[in-house]
Chains A and B, each alone.
Chain A
Amino acid sequence: MSVRLAAMRDVLVGLIPIALILGLWQALTASGVAPPSLLPPPGAVFARLIQQLGSLTYLQHAATTLLRLFAGFGIAVALGVALAVAAIGSKAVESALMPLVRVLAPVPKVALYPAFILTLGFEDASKIALVVADAVFPILLATYQGMSAVEPKLAWVAQAVGVTRARCVFTVVLPAALPSVLTGCRIGLVISCIVVFLAEMITSTDGLGHLLVRAARNFQTVDMFVPLITISLLGLLLNAGFNALRKRLLAGFPEEK
């Protein structure tokens, strides 16, 4: 019981800063220190958010963003895991791939966006490519590091009973590295969320990022906050969904702290 009480106390304590920020926001707008053209009152923002979430056009923009997000994330997962498996499976691939990753991982990928626009066009492909470029590295690295840390005895046992080395990588080493693969995927998911929004802000004619830029150009401050809140809600929802999936997939693995 005391554990539950402490947990409840933690939740309450955690609400304090959020309430403080909302209170400060409300006080700033109500007292007139911040004119509504610069900082709209929180009530107006949330009312608009609820109104927009019921509007079909807004939902279509959100769907476009989600579609690009999932396409990019899906490719990044497939590519990242496949490359990591190849690097673990073959020394030659590893020695060719890892220096490339070492060079490319710290490069800010947004800078590549103009190149993607020029080669892939202004449509979905360039945005999806940017999401892939940004999300693939954490997934690849987490998978690679997870697979290299797998207890070698597990693979030896499998090979001793006659499993070939290649099959062993897929049936023993990759499943044993699942926790870190999923950690990499979670990081990649949040990154995808952020990057797709940025790409849409830079050049786009639809999607949530475009809505933010359009509102900014017309000085509609309320409409600037709404897509921002939507994308962070999406991020939180996707993260929660992913955690639930992770719990199911990792049933039987020792708990992580």
Chain B
Amino acid sequence: MGRVATLPGVPPLIACLALLVAWEFAARVLGISGLPPASDALAQLPAILSDPESLLNIAASLKRMAIGFALALVAAVPIGLMMGRSRTVAAFFNPLLMSIYPVPKAALMPIIMLWLGIGDASKTLVIFLGVSLPVIYHSYQGSRAVEEKILWSAAAMGMRAPARLFRIVLPAALPEILVGCRTGLVLALITMVTSEMIARQAGVGNILFNALDMAQYDTVYAMIVVIGVLGYVLDVAFERLRLHLVGWAAPTHDIVVGTT
């Protein structure tokens, strides 16, 4: 047992089981109202996951999230890298970013919906906004920490500034950028769910809150489990990717937490 418990992946599994047991206990023994037993909620999972409509909804949510995330990377990484290398660029963007930072991005939904409608465009835009900030911030920190001498040597060998940014600063800052991406991933998921709760039209958040309105409490809890598993799986998958890309760099933190 002692050896099994130290295998990678086993402690989180035990943690999940413990959570389920605690949930079952709270519902059955303590009888907390509004909390169906875990077994009842989990019994809904096959129905949800075999219903083509809800699968389409989940796929549509993930598609929006992927597009918003990808667009944010394309825009945010170059801005962050340039901020780290030039004081003027940093001074240009910093106050603006600081004042946008505490605005809840999903709260922009009602306003953006007026302009772009309740379809994919506004939800993708909100995800884009939510992901951009942490990615810019971490790219900025990463590129600021790049050793000057490497850049001087490259310049002395005739490499031009744009090439230096992408061939030296980008790889050197990659570990830090990926920290930002991981925060961004968590954020993308949060913004995705929230935007769908506000614009109830399709998606995971829509299923969740419609079930709440229709008092299908088992489905509510089953959807919470689905979203939670989604978050955890995406995080683990990203960690794999990170190890593959920057296995040479020491991991900065085991777990990264983001802001909405």
Contacts and interface: CB of A to CB of B under 8 A. Distances in A.
Interface stretch (B52-60, B165-173, B242-250, B252-260): B252-260
Given A13-B91, A194-B260, A112 B107 contact: no
A106 B234 contact: yes
Interface of A: 9-11, 13-18, 21, 38-39, 95, 98-112, 114-115, 117-119, 134, 137-138, 141, 145, 187, 190-191, 193-195, 197-198, 201-202, 209, 212-213, 216, 219, 221, 224-225, 228, 231-232, 234-236, 239
B91 A235 contact: no
B154 to A, nearest CB: 24
B257 A198 contact: no
B217 A118 contact: yes
B138 to A, nearest CB: 13
B129 interface: no
B111 A225 contact: yes
A108 B114 contact: no
Contacts of A110: 190, 193-194, 197, 260
Contacts of A198: 104, 106-107, 194, 260
* Dominant secondary structure at the B interface: helix
A99 B87 contact: no
Contacts of A216: 110-111, 113
* Dominant secondary structure at the A interface: helix
A111 B223 contact: yes
Interface residues of B, number: 64
A234 B101 CA distance: 12
18 contacts: A17-B95, A18-B95, A38-B114, A95-B11, A106-B235, A115-B224, A134-B260, A141-B257, A190-B101, A194-B102, A194-B259, A195-B104, A197-B107, A198-B106, A228-B111, A231-B104, A231-B107, A232-B100
B29 to A, nearest CB: 15
A232 B102 contact: yes
Given A194-B260, A224-B110, A145 B253 contact: yes
A108 B110 contact: no
